[in-house]
Amino acid sequence: MKELFFDESIILLNVAAESKQEILKKMSTNLVEKGLVKPSFIHAILEREEEFATGLPTEGCSVAIPHTDIEHVVHKTISIGILKEPVEFGVMGDDSETTPVKIVFLLAMDEAHSQLSLLQKLMQLFQNQETLKYLYGESSRTNIKNFVKEKLDLSQI
């Protein structure tokens, strides 16, 4: 099993976007340019978000965890996008509601039904208000990288 790719180049700070489509395009295009996902990933992510929204209102700020089928992924990674101004995402499992999302965790997984502990740690990460506040206020991508790596227990990479 390949390790998760995670470094500064897939952490985008202070991203200006008017809509969920715009932020999703920016983040997935970045992954395409890095060769981590196939070009088809961009369309697949946008389409999936329309069909199954991934916005999550948490105790802190709202987050979104867009993801799509494994066939579009070359190398497993989690890209983090922190928005300059929140954009509205549909709420997961609820067609009628939207939520202002500040932080996007774009998941590119290359295996279905796996990575339980990694995903659990990721969920714990955004269930913690202090963590979200830190991510939103931090201006160094290296600091964010080290912080998330520690939280997700990625030290082996």
Return residues touching another protein (CB under 8 A). Answer: 48, 51-54, 56-59, 65, 67-70, 91-95, 107, 109, 112-116, 119-120, 123, 127
Decide if 54 contacts 92 (C-beta within 8 A): yes
Nearer to another protein by Cβ, of 10 and 73: the residue is: 73
What whole-number distance in Å separates Cα of residue 5 and Cα of residue 72? 15
- Least separation, in Å, of the C-beta of 12 and another protein? 20
- Cα distances from 116 to residues 5, 122, 157, in angstroms, run 17, 10, 18
Q: Which is nearer to another protein, 91 or 152 (CB)?
A: 91
Cα angle 106, 154, 29; round to 5:
25
Nearer to another protein, 30 or 115 (CB): 115
Please state the closest distance from residue 95 (CB atom) to another protein, in A. 5
